[in-house]
Amino acid sequence: MTVNEAGGRERKLLIWRYDRGQGFSSLRDTVLSERELTLFLDGEELTSGLLTEGDEERWALGHLATRGLIENREDVVEMHLSEKILSVRRTRALPGVRSREKVTLAPLPVTWRLSAETVAAAVKTLSEAPLYRSTGCVHVAALFSRDGERLSVAEDVGRHNAVDKVVGWAVEKAHPLEATFLTVSGRLPRDMVLKAALVRIPLVASVSAATEASIATAQRAGITLCGFVRGGRMNVYAIPERFVEWNAETPRKGPSEAGEAEDFPHFSSSSLC
């Protein structure tokens, strides 16, 4: 097994390929590497799992921000990365939200609008990510400005990790997440939408589908939720008013009443995938 120029995230491995009518043949294929990492916060273990190498500090910042454990980069005084441990020490101990805790979502107002074509073009670029093209084994997440400028992109074996990494970029750069939208390559479960809600990202879009629970969460949080964004079409599951093409006369089901609470998901190593 050898490491290529990408530096540890990809490896060339001998495999065997079967083709109908031709049988088996051997070849070297590009496969994705993983690293095991445990995140410690103020001396206590917070979570652990498998990540794709690269942007580990941003992943930590994003993970902490999407759990309400930090509000900005100034809340972190020290970060130390070793082979299997990433330790973070804060300047202040924010309570954040813990597993199974009730979370009340304040709906995001519609303060800016964009075109559906801007979102479609942004989602289309996810397939151009280099690790995805070489291995087909990663999820991709990217943050865009409301004008469609790509701000940050991350690839990781875990879709939640990829989201945390781009959120971490915004925390690191002090870029206002309220002025961005998030695109992802995987399905849209409830906890993915909740991550966006807790850092106030107003629009989330994916090439894949949304679950019923994620749609309900998006409605409560005032998040525009888009799935199956491909081929010139998309499903808009919640808050279509953010699109300039939206016709106010089109019938729709309104969001749930503000202040409705829901359980914060349980975080474990599986939540990083």
Does position 157 have pLDDT exceeding 50, yes or no?
yes
In the prediction, which pLDDT does 5 show?
37
Model confidence band, residue 273 (pLDDT cutoffs 50, 70, 90): very low
In the prediction, which pLDDT does 269 show?
38
Does position 265 have pLDDT exceeding 50, yes or no?
yes
Numbered ranges of CATH 3.40.140.10 in the chain: 104-272
In the prediction, which pLDDT does 257 show?
45
Does position 268 have pLDDT exceeding 60, yes or no?
no
Per-residue model confidence as pLDDT tens digits over 105-121:
889 999 999 999 999 99
Average confidence (pLDDT) over 133-143: 81
Model confidence band, residue 79 (pLDDT cutoffs 50, 70, 90): very high
Model confidence band, residue 103 (pLDDT cutoffs 50, 70, 90): confident
Average confidence (pLDDT) over 170-192: 95
- Secondary structure string (H, E, C) spanning the chain: CEECCCCCCEEEEEEEEEECCCEEEEEEEEEECCEEEEEEECCEEEEEEEECCCCHHHHHHHHHHCCCCCCCHHHEEEEEECCCEEEEEECCCCCCCCCCCEEECCCCCCCCCECHHHHHHHHHHHHHCHHHHHHCCCEEEEEEECCCCEEEEEEECCHHHHHHHHHHHHHHHCCCHHHEEEEECCCECHHHHHHHHHCCCCEEEECCCECHHHHHHHHHHCCEEEEEEECCEEEEEECHHHECCCCCCCCCCCCCCCCCEEECCCCCHHHHC
Mean of pLDDT over the chain? 86
In the prediction, which pLDDT does 129 show?
77
Model confidence band, residue 227 (pLDDT cutoffs 50, 70, 90): very high
Does position 202 have pLDDT exceeding 70, yes or no?
yes
Instruction: Work out the percent of the chain whose per-residue pLDDT is above 70.
Output: 85
Please give the CATH topology (third level) of the domain spanning 104-272.
Answer: Cytidine Deaminase; domain 2 (3.40.140)
Does position 187 have pLDDT exceeding 80, yes or no?
yes
Does position 225 have pLDDT exceeding 90, yes or no?
yes
In the prediction, which pLDDT does 249 show?
67
